[in-house]
Amino acid sequence: MAKSDDCVHILQGLLVFGNVVIGMCGIALTAECIYFVSNPHGLYPLLKATENNDIYAAAWIGIFVGLALFALSILGIIGVIKASRTLLLVYIVLMLITFAFEMASCITAATHRDSLTPSLFLKQMLEKYKKSEPASNSDKEVTKTWDELMLQNHCCGVLGPSDWQEYTSAFRLTHSDADYPWPRKCCVLDAQGLPVNLDGCKLGVPGYYNSNGCYDAISGPVNTHAWGVAWFGFAILCWTFCVLLGTMFYWSRIEY
Amino acid sequence: LPTPPARLPYVPHVPPMALLGKITATTFVLERPRCVFDGHADASDAVWLAVAFANASANFRNPRSRADVPLYKQLPTARAYMTLETAAAAYSCSARSPPVLRVGGDTACRDQGRQDPCNGPLPSPGPYRVKFLLMGCRGPKAETRWSEPILLRRAISPGTIDSAPTRRGSDVVVIASILASLGAVLATAVLGALG
């Protein structure tokens, strides 16, 4: 029966195409997640210190899910072309497991993006930056990260230099308010790393200190990261859903 | 009997320009008075700044000579002190000097306990009132009015910051609900195909 043969061939073609797309997206997901895990903006210590680095866990899951999707898509293509019930059954079961993992990763990334508020970073910065007896390695890392952040982005504090004035902090315990209304890194520095005009910086004269906060420099990359993992994963899952339904329909139509 | 010092109408004040460090927890900034002492000052005279707690300014008595000047370390007991001893020429009309004076900026003299007039950081948020006093060799020659009370900043503990997320974003709801429904459909399809 030519017509039903044609339908089967069309369905096979669609499933092969669907699996090819899944394979490519799997590679892309792996590459994206490896990029984020490699900490390109140096913000990992800040997230780790908030005890809220589930976004990194989501990215790690994404790496393995991406590789699994690639491998399974090859299995799926072979199964569809050979019309083998066993291979397709294995394919469906493993794909469901991968689907569940990727679901977890997406929802984790989306949820934790919401918890990264300015207040969270403000509290952490005030309690840990330049703490005199660092309780753990993470405190030293936080100090180092903030110094680099303020230096490279020409910013100060989370919302601005007034963060250091409005709240007491670990920094304030070792650096007097008269000498250090805010850390030296908030001053405009010259090529040797010394303030251009120290008195101007202490007074807050515009032009001698950095008046904007670093929150945008932190939340920008982290939000892009979380957005990338969550929404790209979501898109892949929607496509995978369709391909899986098609595969199940095809599987049920194969004769023994 | 020495003549009482001339009362100048100038009122010391915090400068109106936008400076983030105008008032901190232990320092504050005053606008430098210009041309205020020109008719009264000789070359050898000095201008001092008297700083007193706002509720003690009425009891402040001008010192009769340089030796009677209350020092920085007497602030807790005398409730006032004098600092920023500068030559009167620095306040004249033609002087080219920074437009502001920072009170409380010298942490070195506080720690070393030197006897000289010390512009040390203020120990409490105040409020404080200040006035300028022109001292000659025979005692005070002129004084400005007392300023308005200046209240310094009081910092609060970071423990009061509430770091919980304010609201659940709509992203999460969309992703979670759609994925949950897709998962449910797949599970039923698998059971239906196998069963």
How many angstroms separate the Cα of A140 from the Cα of each of A9, A38, A129, A146, B123? Answer: 62, 20, 8, 10, 31
Between A28-37, A127-136, A183-192, B50-59, the lowest mean confidence (pLDDT) is in: A127-136
Please answer yes or no on whether A166 and B107 come within 8 Å at the CB atom: no
pLDDT at A237: 92
pLDDT at B114: 64
> Are the CB atoms for B152 and B122 separated by under 8 Å?
yes
CB proximity A211 to B under 8 Å? yes
CB proximity A105 to B under 8 Å? no
Q: What's the rounded Cα separation, in Å, for the pair B5 and B40?
A: 10
Report how many Cβ contacts below 8 Å link chain A to chain B: 130
> Are the CB atoms for A109 and A58 separated by under 8 Å?
yes
- Residue with structure tokens 């391909």? A243
Strand partners, B47: B86, B134
pLDDT at B41: 80
Name the DSSP letter for residue B44.
Answer: T
The secondary structure element, H or E, covering residue B102 is strand B100-103
Among A222, A245, A225, A232, CA closest to A27: A232
Measured between beta carbons, the chain B residues lying within 8 angstroms of A117 are 163, 165-166
pLDDT at B18: 86
Indicate whether B95 pLDDT > 80.
no
pLDDT digits (tens, 9 = 90+) for A42-90: 888 888 888 777 888 888 899 999 999 999 999 999 999 988 889 999 9
CB proximity A137 to B under 8 Å? no
pLDDT digits (tens, 9 = 90+) for B99-153: 889 998 888 887 766 667 888 889 888 799 999 998 888 888 888 999 999 999 9
Residue A114 pLDDT level (bands cut at 50, 70, 90): confident
Residue B113 amino acid letter: G
How many angstroms separate the Cα of B147 from the Cα of each of B9, B36, B83, B91, B170? Answer: 11, 15, 16, 18, 54
Interface test with A, best of B14, B19, B23, B24 (most A CBs within 10 A): B24
Q: Reduced to 3 states, what is the DSSP secondary structure of residue B40?
A: coil
| CB-closest option in A203, A211, A251 to B102 | A203
| CB-closest option in A100, A181, A205 to B24 | A181
Q: What's the rounded Cα separation, in Å, for the pair A122 and A118?
A: 6
Indicate whether B88 pLDDT > 90.
no
pLDDT at B148: 93
Q: What is the chain A residue with the closest CA to B176? A: A107
Percent of chain A whose pLDDT exceeds 70: 98
Distance from CA of B163 to the nearest CA of A (A): 5
Q: Where do the structural domains in chain B lie, given as residue ranges?
A: 6-154, 168-194
Q: B6-154 adopts what CATH topology?
A: Immunoglobulin-like (2.60.40)
CB proximity A252 to B under 8 Å? yes
A residues 19-38 closer than 8 Å to B (CB):
none
For range B11-27, the mean pLDDT: 90
pLDDT at B113: 65
pLDDT at A256: 59
Indicate whether A1 pLDDT > 60.
no
CB proximity A167 to B under 8 Å? yes
> Are the CB atoms for A124 and A50 separated by under 8 Å?
yes
pLDDT at B193: 76
